[in-house]
Amino acid sequence: MSAMESRLTVSGHPIQPMLVPLPFGLFVSAVLLDVGAIAAGPALRLFGDVAYWTIIAGLSGAGLTALAGLVDLWDRPIRGPRRTLLAFTLATTGMAALFVLVCLARAGNPQHAGTGALLLVELAALVVGVVGLRLGTRLLRQLDTDGAPEATRAPEATRAPLRTARGGRLVYKSGREFVR
């Protein structure tokens, strides 16, 4: 099994990277709904309730995403990107933990209304989530190259389809030898 192969796939594509944007999008939606609820005051109490349940849906999606990630990593040695994987896991777990705290704080309120302080916690969670998404992108790039050092890879913009040269070596159309 190569580094980018996954145990959970759809049409040959790993499921976990497809699931990552779902909880993040739900969390962003919840923050926007909370901004609307706080700005409108009691006139739009429904926004606060919808935001609360959107956070719950985002947490459910985050749990499914984490489960898919664990299945993919089960019994698989990760050679190069261990530090990035750990940072990605900590960032996404931190984002989810902050939203869990927001949900617990709002659970006692019958309208599940947010406050300015909770909105600040939600915004901090989104910042942590953006860091996690950036780390996840870096992790996918590291796994996509099977841990090949940056210096041995052509820049993405100059990559062209490979062709076979004499002796069975693979070279780019530009003439550079493909180094794996």
Bridge partners, residue 163, by sequence? 171
User: 0.75 exceeded by the pTM?
Assistant: no
pLDDT tens, the chain, 180 aa long: 444 556 777 787 777 778 888 999 999 999 999 999 888 887 788 898 899 999 999 999 999 988 887 777 665 565 666 777 778 888 888 999 999 999 999 988 777 778 889 999 999 999 999 999 898 888 777 766 544 444 444 454 455 555 555 566 666 656 666 666
Q: How many of the other CB atoms lie within 10 Å of CB of 10? A: 9
User: Residue 135 is encoded by which pair of tokens?
Assistant: 């780390």
**SS3 of residue 145 by DSSP:** coil
User: Residue 74 is encoded by which pair of tokens?
Assistant: 């089960």
Residue 14: enclosing H or E segment and its boundaries? strand 13-14
How many Cα neighbours within 13 Å face the side chain of 41? Answer: 0
Q: What pLDDT is attached to residue 165?
A: 57
Q: What pLDDT is attached to residue 20?
A: 85
Could you tell me the domains of the chain? 9-147 (1.20.120), 149-180 (no CATH)
Q: What pLDDT is attached to residue 103?
A: 93
Radius of gyration of the chain (CA): 21
Bridge partners, residue 72, by sequence? none
Q: What pLDDT is attached to residue 141?
A: 78
CA distance 19 to 167: 42
Q: Do 144 and 4 meet the contact criterion of CB atoms below 8 Å apart?
A: yes
Q: What pLDDT is attached to residue 56?
A: 96
Amino acid at 95: M
Q: What share of the chain is helix, strand, coil (3-state, %, to 5)?
A: 70, 5, 25
CA 86-131-147 angle, to 5 degrees, is 45
